[in-house]
Chain A
Amino acid sequence: MGVLLSVENVVGGYEFESLGKKIYVDAVSNVSISIDDNVVFGIAGESGCGKSTLLKIMYGYIISPLKVLRGNIKIFTSNDSYIDVLSISSELRRSRVWWKEISWIPQNAMNVLNPVEKIKDHFVEILTTHERIDKDDALKIATEYVESFGLSKSVLDAYPHQLSGGMRQRVVIALALLLKPKVVLADEPTSALDVVVQRGVLQILLNKQSELKNTVVLVSHDMGVHAMVTNKLAVMYAGKVVEIGRTEDIFEKPLHPYTKALIDSLPRIGDKTLRTGLAGSPPDLRNPPPGCRFHPRCPFAMDICRKEEPPMIEIEKNRFVSCWLYIRR
């Protein structure tokens, strides 16, 4: 197993003007993650923590007001060659990288599907523009292909609005995997679905992953989903990654106080003991607090947490945490 996708010191955020003043919202603040091949890598965190923004940057989908100030995203094609997603031209990204090397599954399928095109036209369009395949062959391929996602052929003749949410999401997953990209970015792919359908859709995503041996980066706010699906997990808070590790290790023994609070705040069926959440709310990223961004809500905050930002340290093999509690000084 080697590194497939490398996120290096990425700083990005939203820049806009309000009342004549330039405002910058620090959404992704110096994030570095390396993601291996053949893995389901989860990114957890609550709304506004920067997880979706990070995913957009990984995809190279930078449209105003989103700005990337620093950092690199590399997709390794072999040991020493890579695609630098952020610095190649947008034409190249569209023609060579998207769909073929990296694809994106959004929360709302209608962000990808064209409401006035039949489902089959979506498949045909991708196949004919990216591969040298004519229209009839493309249609043949699509017909066989959709059945492997548990969809009947009749779906191809439907318009997106005629499908249920779960079927639409399966269509989008099928499109994203069509050209067998090495990296699939899934942004809350099942958050709008009911739990039974969510379970079915995620199972399909996992089966395909083990078939294709690609890497799925799964963003979800739902710690339950991460426990059921991912192999590795990064937890984000206020634009920073606070903890990275194997999913089972993180659930077994969360290191960062935020991760611990996040897991402890979830009620479980069969358990009525009192649970407590976190006091306060996440900081305003127009003006983030100094030091550790979690310190205003952290029950263990010390002096240094208010002043200096904790570095990310590896405390055991494959376990990283960014917290002063774990740094001997």
Chain B
Amino acid sequence: MAMLLELKNVTKIFRYGFFGFSFKAVDNINISLEDKPFIFTLAGESGSGKTTLARIILGVHRPEYGSVLYKGKDIFKLSSSEMKWFKKEVQAVFQDPYAAFNPLRKVYGYLYDTAKNVAGLSRDEIDGYIDEVLRRVGLNLEKVVGKYPHEFSGGELQRVSIARALITKPRLIIADEPVSMLDASLRINIVNLFKELKDDLKISFIYITHDLSTAYYISDWIAIMYRGWVVEQGPVEKVLSEPLHPYTQTLLLSVPIPDIRLRNKWLSAIKLSATIEEKEFIAKGCKYAGRCPHAKDICFKSEPPTIAIGDVIVKCWLYQK
């Protein structure tokens, strides 16, 4: 099958200070999405590089090494007409909808601009089309026209930003923590909306989150990130029910579950680091070795290989035969 998106050996280096303390925020990452409606989750904790990776896919950051291919084209080598096409095809939704809209500007303006400039619609088509798109996300033109961002609740405004992304009829939406700001009872509605958009409009998503429960609920595939690496990826049912990487195992066990029967397991002691951390980004061997309960000598010395076990790919010395 043709590929929608391929990242090959992508590395992004950030430098701090004049004399260049540098580290790899995204370190030699390979992921790919087939060209079919698909929800791909990038999961990880803060500092794992998931947002940096999203920005690379959107073309905001240029990686130092590796390449990003969208429908076979390198997104950093697009001609200006191809760039226009790419911006229509790939859209983004961010965590904080109040930060995505200028508070002094009516939100309709954003929808109008996207319809006119990016989707290239003519003036008399625009309102009807915007109304249609807003109805997709459970709103309508009447509810939106004339309003400023603060007049919407967080859930509504996030729907508006999803509607804005839908205007260009995208093939792929990058959603970076799109529900983290929302309350639980509203969160599930937005997550359900993504599922609907995938089924009805055949849109693929890269869903970036730290929340494994919603990730399990909506996605087909999951990649677990840690300190710039993808440590494990595979079908979500497999990775989250039989995690292979020790980090995925700890992560999964630490998610607080609204089920009181799991309390004792959750309360089984874990140890936090006692001293000022930590040079994990620039560690020599495995970046997780310092915290890993299974760490062996080799883990501190050289980078673990990536090993395929069935359709799961794991980056860990434990699985080296």
Contacts and interface: CB of A to CB of B under 8 A. Distances in A.
Interface in B131-157: 153-156
Contacts of B216: 267-272
A297 to B, nearest CB: 9
* Size bracket, chain B contacts: 35 or more
B257 A224 contact: yes
A265 B277 contact: no
B250 interface: yes
B123 interface: no
Contacts of B217: 267, 271-272, 275
Interface residues of A, number: 56
A167 B278 CA distance: 12
Interface stretch (B90-98, B181-189, B305-313): B181-189
Contacts of B241: 269-270
Interface stretch (B22-30, B168-176, B267-275): B267-275
B156 A166 contact: no
A196 B256 contact: no
Q: Name which of B185, B213, B240, B266 has the most chain A CB atoms within 10 A of its CB.
A: B185
B210 A267 contact: no
B277 A228 contact: no
Nearest to B214: A267
B276 A163 contact: yes
B266 A268 contact: no
Interface string A220-260: 01111111110000000000000000011001100000000
B183 A274 contact: no
B156 to A, nearest CB: 7
Nearest to A251: B260
Nearest to B266: A228
Contacts of B187: 265, 277
A200 B270 contact: yes
Interface in B28-54: 45-46
A224 B188 contact: no
B184 to A, nearest CB: 5
B35 to A, nearest CB: 24
B43 to A, nearest CB: 11
A198 interface: yes
Interface stretch (A84-92, A124-132, A150-158, A179-187): A150-158
B183 A47 contact: yes
B102 interface: no
A122 interface: no
A262 interface: yes
Given A272-B216, A277-B185, A203 B270 contact: yes
Interface in A151-192: 151-152, 154-155, 158, 162-164, 166-167, 170
Contact of A198 (B184, B188, B256): B256
A266 B258 contact: yes
A154 B275 contact: yes
A88 B312 CA distance: 63
B69 interface: no
Given A195-B251, A200-B272, A274-B192, A268 B186 contact: no
B188 A267 contact: yes
Given A154-B276, A270-B240, A227 B257 contact: yes
Q: Name which of A163, A167, A221 has the most chain B CB atoms within 10 A of its CB.
A: A167
A265 B182 CA distance: 13
Interface in A30-60: 46-47
B13 interface: no
A248 B260 contact: yes
A163 B275 CA distance: 9
B45 A221 contact: no
Contacts of A267: 188, 191, 213-214, 216-217
A83 interface: no
B258 to A, nearest CB: 5
Nearest to B263: A228
B175 to A, nearest CB: 16
A99 B188 CA distance: 40
B255 interface: yes
Nearest to A258: B185
B254 interface: yes
Contacts of B266: 199, 228
A203 B267 contact: yes
A276 interface: yes
Given A150-B271, A227-B258, A279-B189, 4 more contacts: A194-B45, A195-B255, A198-B254, A265-B187
Q: Which 3 A-B pairs have the closest CB atoms?
A: A224-B256, A267-B217, A46-B183
17 contacts: A46-B184, A195-B256, A196-B45, A196-B254, A221-B184, A222-B184, A223-B258, A224-B255, A227-B258, A227-B262, A266-B184, A267-B188, A267-B214, A268-B258, A274-B192, A275-B217, A277-B185
Interface of B: 45-46, 153-156, 183-189, 191-192, 210, 212-214, 216-217, 240-241, 250-252, 254-260, 262-263, 266-267, 269-278
